[in-house]
Amino acid sequence: MGVVPLKDRLGIAGLFDALIFLAVASLVSVSLIATLSAHVAPVEAVNERIEAAHTVLLRSTVNDSRGNPSTVEELFKLRGPGDGCEEHVTSVLDLLLPRSGWRWSVERGEHRWAFGSKQVPNGDVICSIFRAPIDGQEVTYRLEAWPLR
């Protein structure tokens, strides 16, 4: 083995330093991207999930005060909640939104009904709102959900 020329030694050292620098730069940039994007992807997924749960709840049927099956949307649009409505809403949203706190409210003119948690906590709360027109008025269905810690 001969003596490695100074030029070659400098080149190998430069290559080694550059690889170390690139490895550290990759780690830093990837961890930065992961940190920034980590907040975006789950919020989109949770938002989609809450919209889907709200749609499914509104289309599900429950017996009205006369014992006839009616969708939850129509029930609040035409009359008001009957016996067993609160139990229905609670059991459906507990099933569809596991590990989440929720509050579901309906507003029709001066009437207002609310189910679920009494208070909405501070922090990230995802809200899904459906509006349905009826006789010049508007019925607003609002589902607010948040992750339970």
Partner 1 sequence: MDREKGSAAERYQASTSHWDMVKDRRGWGGFYESIMAMMIVTAGIVLITASLTFMAAHEDRGRGGGPECREVIRAVLTDRTLAPSDRMLDLRQADKVDWTSLKGGADIGMSVFLTFADGTTRTLYREDMQDQGERYSISEPVNILERGGTVSASLLTVWVWYP
Residues interacting with partner 1, by CB under 8 A?
6-7, 10-11, 14-15, 18-19, 22-23, 25-27, 29-30, 33-34, 37, 41-42, 45, 49, 52-53, 55-57, 59-61, 69, 71, 88, 91-92, 94-96
CB of 35 or CB of 122, closer to partner 1: 35
- E-assigned strands of 24-136? 61-63, 69-71, 100-108, 111-116, 126-134
- Which stretch of DSSP H or E encloses residue 142? strand 137-147
One-character DSSP codes across 73-99: HHHHHHS---TTHHHHHHHHHHHHSTT
At closest approach, how far in Å is the CB of 137 from partner 1? 25
CB of 22 or CB of 112, closer to partner 1: 22
CB of 48 or CB of 138, closer to partner 1: 48
Phi, psi (5° rounding) for residue 20?
-60, -45
CB of 10 or CB of 114, closer to partner 1: 10
